[in-house]
Each structure stands twice: as structure tokens, then as C-alpha cells.
Chain A
Amino acid sequence: MRLKMYQDQDNRERGRARIVRLLLPVLLAVLSPAVAADGEVVAYRAGKIIRSAGEAAAAGILIVRDGKIEDVLAADAKTPEGAKVVELPGAVVLPGLVNPLSGISQVNFTSGPGRASQSNSSPSDGRKAVGLSSLNLKHEVYRRLGRTGYTTFAVVPNDTRGLIAGQASVIRPALGKEKEPGELVLEKSAYLLLGFSSGKTWYDAGLRYLKKAVDDILKEKAAKKKAEEDARKKAEEAKKKASQPSTGEKKPAPAPPAVKPAAPKPKPAPKPKVPDPLVQLFKGEKKAFVRVTSPAALAHFFAFFDKLPIKFQFVLVTGPQPPEIVEMLIERRKQITAVILEPRMGRIPETSIYVNTARLFLRSGMPVAFVPLRDTIDGHREIFFQLAAMVKSGVLPHEALAGVTSVPADLVGLGAKVGSLKKGGLANFACYDRDPLSGTARLLSVYVEGRKVFEDDPSTGELSGEAIR
């Protein structure tokens, strides 16, 4: 039923799209500015705007000022005075896609301060490494990021095999004018990525890192408690002394402050310590993504995790799993806040029956975010083909869309800025020529903070300018 609906839409659309294809280059040439000047207001009048996954698509006007969305108006509303109008008549405007876990910044980048060497036999400790430190602006990959439809990437410094891979930085695609990698960064440290596998070395490292962090916290707590206790006792003693009945007479006036028991000399303030991210994680001050892929590793991880006296909540990064494992994970909803999956199918053991792991999670109410199958520019460009396959096997279209926009945006803690088109958010959006989940959809243009980073030329069918890979 739904399929037919889409077909009908597509047929109708095709006719319109043909006209649009003829007109669009003319319109674009006349109207669209490559980069909006500072303070300028631009109104994008689009055929369909999907403000956020799950909301109805409707014709509308996107008002952008200083790279931020000032408003989203209805199609018949008046554009603000002095606003530059950009017509996107046949386009479906989506919020720019968000990748919550990527290593794409590490292309051709083999050594440097942020990157620890990795191997399965010695899981590394990269807790101090930040994704930002592994950015290498000289590489053109940052300028190519925008042509994928993705406008936000959480990049981790190490590959994901380390026990503590590092802290992810959230970046946007480069516009080509940046001088410092910091200019790309929306959030320097969004979360800490841990990875766990089965095997002795991982247990040892887990004990060494995680248990030590817990012990530190417990020690700190105990010391604090003791200090409080001491202070309380002292105060009580002081009170007792003060309230001791003096002979027959009324209580004398309180002693002058000079007689007060000498207060301990204020110690020189200790140097402000850089907080240990792992300790912060157990205190709930930092988000955690935990990557555990194989069923055995999941069993070992939870056996290990259950023994820790303090727990933390985390986002689970995993692969396609058989239903019984999904069931086990869903029972742990207290610890697992969301799941990050690749959009591909799992298989029931001993059979050739495929299961849609994402669907199982979604039906139980677990938020699911998707990352592309391949962590490359091409992989990102193909995301809607993969998501369409997910939709075919039971994920609802709006869930698939949310899985690459609003859900990952929330997971990296930037839900207010990216992942949907709302007032005050960044003007990051991608324009497709039809429903992106239909196999024939084509990416027309991508805007990052109101500036165009990619444009397709539909009249020639070729990718224009720099966008050719």
C-alpha cells in the first residue's frame, strides 16, 4: 500500500522534476549566492521542507540569518524585508545528516599527538586523545565531507579497537577557508568511546582502567565523607563546650571572635587538575559510547560491567545481532540509552533467516542511530540506499530518517543545534530532488551554516565543480 503510494508520488514527481531540471540551473544561476554575506537574511523557498524526522513535509520558507535558522515559515507567508530569496522549487529540504561515530578525519593520517597505536593484543588507553587533535586540514577530505548530505560528524581520534579509543569531537565540513582545525569544531569533547572484546588482555586492561577509575571515585568519596564527619564532630564538640553550664549564673556573652579555636590555616589551593575523562564518565559528567560487537564480547562485557560497584549509562555501538541477543540487550535498558547500528541485516544462527536488528530495537522503544556501512565519502553518499533496505524490512521511514538526523544529534548532545530545522539551530540542510528514501533520489545541494558546500548540476547529470570525486 505504502509502496504504491510512493510510486504514485514518484510518477507525479517525475513530470514535475523534468520541468524543474530545465528551470533550476537558470534559477540557480540568477538567484543563488554562493556564500551569504554576514548579517544578510536569506529566504529559501522550497517545495517541501521536512523540519525534523516524523514531521509532515510541507512547502515552506526557511529564513536564515548569520548561518542560523531564524524561522521556518509557511509557503504563503511574506518573506522578511530585504531578504535575499533563493528558490528551491522542486527540492525536498532535509536537515543535514549527522554521523555520531566516524573515523573519516583520519585519512592518510598515521601519526601525531592524538593517535595511539592500536592492536588487539594491547588495548590502548586513549582517554586524553581528542578527535580534534587528529584533524589534518591539509587533506581535502574535510572539503569533500559536505557533498555527502552529511553536515555533522563526530570524529574519534583513534580507530575504534582501543579499550579507550578517545574523546569524539563534533565537526562540520570545511568550506575551504579555514586555517585552524578548531574552526570546524562544534563540540570539542562530545563523548568518550570505549571498545570491549573478549580475551584476557581486554579483561586486564578493563581492570586496570575502569576499576581504577571506580576506585579513585570511591576513595574520593570516602575522603570527603571522612572530612565531613570530622567537621561535624568538631562542631559538636565546640557546641558542647559552649553549652556547658557555668556555675549558677546565666550564660556569659559569647566569647569574642579572637578566642575562637584557631582555624586551620588555609592551604595553598592545589593546581586545577585536568579531570580524568574516565572518572567523569563514572560520575555522569561525560557521555560514553561503548563499542561491543560480537555476542561473546557482549556476554563478557556485561559480566565485567556488573561487577563494577559504580555503573554508567552508555550508547551501545554494535553490529547486527540475532534476536536472543537483542532481547538480552533490551533487558538492560537501564544502562543502554540508545544503540548505534550499521544499516544491515543480521541472521538467526543455524538458519538462513535474516532479521532486522534495528527494527527489533525500535519496536521495543530503543532509539537507534545509523552509521554508514563504510566510513568513506562514498559510504556516506550511499546511506539512503542502505536505509531504504532497512525500510523495506520493517523500519518505518521516519525512524530511518530520525536515525541519521535527530537521534544521532541528541546522542552527541547537539540536538538543539543540528539534526532538525528549528529556530535557533544551525542552517545545515540538504536538498534532494524527491523523497530521499526512494532509490532514484538525487542530492541537489548541501548547505552548512547557510553556506553552500555542494551543488549538483541536474542539466548535465554531472557533479559540478569541486564536487566531482
Chain B
Amino acid sequence: MTIRTRDYGMPALLLPLVLAAFFCASLGAEETREKEKKSIVQAVVGATVLPVSGPMVRRGTVIWKDGKILEVAAELAAPEGARVHDADGLYVCPGFVSIVAMGVGIETSSGNIGNGLNPWDRELTIALANGITTVQALPAPFFGGFGQDGPLYGGSNSAVIKLTQGDLGGMLVKEPAMNYFSLPTRQLELNYFLLRERFKQAKAYLAKRAEARAKKATAPKLSSSLKLYVAVLENTRPTVFSPANNHEVKIVLSLSREYGFDAVLNEPKDAWMMAADLAAANVPVLVKSRGPDFDFNTTGPLFEKGQMAPVRRPAAFVRAGCQVSILPYRRGISLAGLAGRDLATLHIDAAFAVRGGMSNEDALKAITLNPARTLRVDDRLGSLEKGKDADLLILSGHPLDYRSFVLKAFINGKLYYDREKSRIYREIPLTGDK
């Protein structure tokens, strides 16, 4: 027996050559890639453009450079030397913004999200394939459900991230994004009272701190029980409340009015009854367009008499003039369970809202510009306007049509999803009829 080595003589000789060739090639590639990033103008031509901030543009052109949109107009020729994406008969709209997402693009959340991002998360591809380019990332809850509704002090565990797959540098947009405030669930009268007391104390603390700062003295010590309340009153980011009933909605509205902070209502069950008040107070709402599919109370109806069917709620809020963001049916991505019931079908949830009486435009807005506004990133995201980030989708049909596929998804002007190269989606045939 011999371990033959003469077979490997040739590769051994060739290796340095191959290596050298590889090095040259890779160096060259890197250089060109660098150049590309900086100077190339790109354009989508001939598409039906839904800019969200304005009316639909037929045979429209979107031009962008260095990750920012330069122009959105009809019948515009692409500039000389631009890389043109021909989108004749296709649709273009801004990338969807999901106002919640759990465990998407995050590996670990020890401390903060920015340092625990995972650009190689396989769920990013699935989210991109379904048009989601930006999410507010929340860490996955413990099994059993302590998650976003827990009091996150200072909102340290929420961040707005873009789903730039494989590219850590482009991911983080803003951290922290929102405060999450949990309302009491037991001993209600006592706790409502304590709640108001704490807000008073927090206000007093802020006054003291301002005084100390004016004198350039050291700020007074902040007790840990007041941290969240101070963060809410500082109002550097909006605060999310999940009211259980309209009584709590009223409490939140009065607190927001009294202390002047921005409140956001998460799934306010019956608040459509007082939607006009919410609109007047300029309080955005986050709602699902589908009701629960399972309830332990199997004998009772899924919603009480006199309530509104979940499918009609988003439209009811919009009619009253509220700023509505549609929540995904589930906050994470798991193709393991029931298809069509997770973050991957955000646009289908918007389509359900249309069935409940919303217009197409409002429904699209509820998964793009409205969540961007609520997250206070609408200066960069949410619509196709000059100067905003070039986060856009090229779709085979209208974004709310269940038959439409995302063909290409661009974030910061760069292509991050191409259906033709997707191992999951490329095999599914596009339906011809529109």
C-alpha cells in the first residue's frame, strides 16, 4: 500500500500560479466594486411607479445615485451612462417598512441591537423577497411570551434596521427607536394612581435636572423606577402603549396631552369608537387587519356584539383621519408554520385592510410611509421622493396583489434581492394574467 503523492505533484506546482492569478483577480474585482458603489447612476424605466407620497406615475422613471433618489417622473429618459433596469409593465414602489419584527436580522441582543445584528440571517432573504426592506427590530421574546410589551427601560432594545443582507455597515438606521410602556394589568385603580404619581415625579426630576444643568452642576441621581418615565417625558422617541380597553386609551390620551409626549397605540381593540379623538390628538395606531385565529374561550364569539370585525378596523381608523400602520399577523418569520401568517405576508395584511374598506393608496401607505413616520425616519424612508433613500422594489404586479412577486429589491441604491437568483422563489412561475 502506498499513499500516492505523484498524483498531486501537478497541483502542487500549479498552486502558486493559481494563487497569484486568484489574487490579481480578486484585487481587480475589489477595485471595480469600490468604484461602482460611488459613481454609478441607476434608473428604473417604464414602470408604473407608486411613490406613496403622491399619485401613481404611469410609464415612470426613478433615478438614483449614491443611495439617494435623484428624480421620480413620467416619461423620463435615463441619463447617459446610467445602469438601466427596464421595468416595462412592472410596478415600482418604496420598500415596505414593518413596524415590528422579532428576531429578524439579530443574532444576539445582549445590551443593544446594533452590536448584535446578523447580516447573514437567512430570514433576511425571505423578508426581502416579500418586499420588506426596513423593520423595527425587537429581540425575540423568551419562550412563554415576555417580549415587546415588557417595560424596556430607555427603549434600549429596539432599533430601526435595514435588511441589507450580508452587509453589516448598511444595517443600522436608528437605535433606540421607540419606548415600550406596559400598562398595569392588576390592582388597576392603585396602579393607575401610581402611574400618574410617577409621571409627576419624573417631571419634577426633569425640572431639577434642567436647573442643575443651567448651573453646570452634576445632575441629580435618577432612581431606576423612574428611568422609563423620564425617557417617555424626554420624548426623544415615541412611546408605545398597548391599551386593553378604551378606558386605558383615555388615560394614555390625557397623559400625552398633559405631559406633551408622543404616544403610539398598539392594537387598541375598541379604539375605533374614539378614532376621531385619536386623530385630533395626532396619535398613530398600529393595528392588525386579521383577528385572532385561536382563543382559549372556545364557546364565545371571536369579537363581541357591537364590536367591529378586525378586517374593518384599519379602514375605520383611516376614515376618522388617524395615521394607521398595519401590523403583520406574526412578528417573526417562520416558514415552518402556517404559510401566510407571518412577517413575510405584510402586504397581504394590507390587502386585507383594503377588503375591509381602505383604499389601495392608504393600504400601501400603512406599510410604507406611515410606519416610517411613526418611527420618525420619514426624512429618509417610506416614499419615493427626491433626496430620500433609494429603497425600492420592482414588482411583477401591484404590491397588494397576492399574485405579485418582488423581482428586485434595492436598499440604499444597491441590489440586495434578485428573484432570478433566489433559491426559494425562482422556481415559482409568474402568473401571466394581471
Binding site for B on A (CB under 8 A): 2, 5, 9-10, 12-13, 48, 50, 54-57, 92, 120-121, 197-204, 294-297, 299-300, 303, 324-325, 330-331, 333, 349-351, 364-365, 396-398, 401, 434-435, 437
Contacts and interface: CB of A to CB of B under 8 A. Distances in A.
Contacts of B30: 331
A365 B15 contact: yes
Contact of A435 (B3, B7, B125): B3
B5 A56 contact: yes
A48 B111 contact: no
Contacts of A325: 120
B165 to A, nearest CB: 10
Nearest to B166: A324
B110 A9 contact: no
Contact of B115 (A92, A199, A350, A364): A199
Nearest to A366: B19
A54 B121 contact: no
A299 B4 contact: no
Given A199-B108, A303-B168, A365-B15, A350 B122 contact: yes
Contacts of B6: 56
Interface of B: 1-8, 11-12, 15, 18-19, 22-23, 26, 30, 107-112, 115-122, 125, 166, 168-169, 423-424
A208 B360 CA distance: 53
Contacts of A203: 115
B8 A299 contact: no
A331 B5 CA distance: 30
B107 A296 contact: yes
Contacts of B116: 198-200, 296
B18 A365 contact: yes
A401 B5 CA distance: 12
A55 B1 contact: no
Contacts of A365: 15, 18-19, 22
B168 A54 contact: no
Contact of B1 (A197, A349, A396, A434): A434
Nearest to A203: B115
B3 A397 contact: yes
Nearest to A201: B110
B101 to A, nearest CB: 16
Contacts of A294: 107, 118
The 6 closest A-B pairs by CB, nearest first: A200-B111, A296-B118, A295-B120, A199-B110, A296-B107, A365-B19
B358 to A, nearest CB: 34
Contact of B2 (A9, A295, A437): A9
B2 A56 contact: yes
A54 to B, nearest CB: 6
Contacts of A204: 111
A197 B108 contact: yes
A351 B122 CA distance: 11
A56 B11 CA distance: 15
Nearest to A328: B166
A55 B9 CA distance: 10
Given A54-B12, A294-B107, A5 B115 contact: no
B110 A396 contact: no
Given A296-B107, A331-B30, A350-B125, A198 B117 contact: yes
Contacts of A434: 1
A296 B109 CA distance: 12
A12 to B, nearest CB: 7
A434 B19 CA distance: 34
B168 A299 contact: yes
Given A198-B118, A199-B115, A297 B107 contact: yes
A9 B118 contact: no
A57 B2 CA distance: 6
Contacts of A396: 8, 11
A272 B115 CA distance: 39
A296 B117 contact: yes
A54 B1 contact: no
A342 B23 CA distance: 26
16 contacts: A48-B2, A54-B12, A92-B3, A199-B108, A200-B116, A300-B115, A300-B168, A303-B168, A333-B23, A350-B423, A365-B19, A398-B3, A401-B3, A435-B1, A435-B3, A437-B3
A86 to B, nearest CB: 21
Contacts of A398: 3, 5, 8
A100 B7 CA distance: 28
Contacts of B4: 5, 56
Given A92-B1, A303-B168, 16 more contacts: A9-B2, A12-B1, A56-B2, A57-B3, A121-B110, A198-B116, A199-B107, A199-B109, A199-B111, A203-B115, A296-B117, A330-B26, A349-B122, A349-B125, A351-B423, A396-B8
A419 to B, nearest CB: 16
B424 A350 contact: yes
B112 to A, nearest CB: 5
B308 to A, nearest CB: 40
A18 B15 CA distance: 40
Contacts of B121: 296
A121 B6 CA distance: 52
Contacts of A200: 110-112, 115-116
Given A296-B121, A350-B125, A351-B423, A13 B1 contact: yes
Contacts of B168: 299-300, 303
Contacts of A10: 1
Contacts of B166: 324
A201 to B, nearest CB: 5
A36 to B, nearest CB: 28
A282 to B, nearest CB: 23
A12 B1 CA distance: 8
A198 B8 contact: no
A54 B110 contact: no
A121 B108 CA distance: 11
Contacts of B26: 330-331
Contacts of B112: 200
B1 A9 contact: yes
A219 B233 CA distance: 44
B340 to A, nearest CB: 19
Q: Which of A198, A294, A333, A435 has the most CB of B within 10 A?
A: A198
A418 B141 CA distance: 51
Contact of B118 (A12, A55, A295, A435): A295
A103 to B, nearest CB: 23
Contacts of A2: 7
A202 B11 contact: no
Contacts of A92: 1, 3
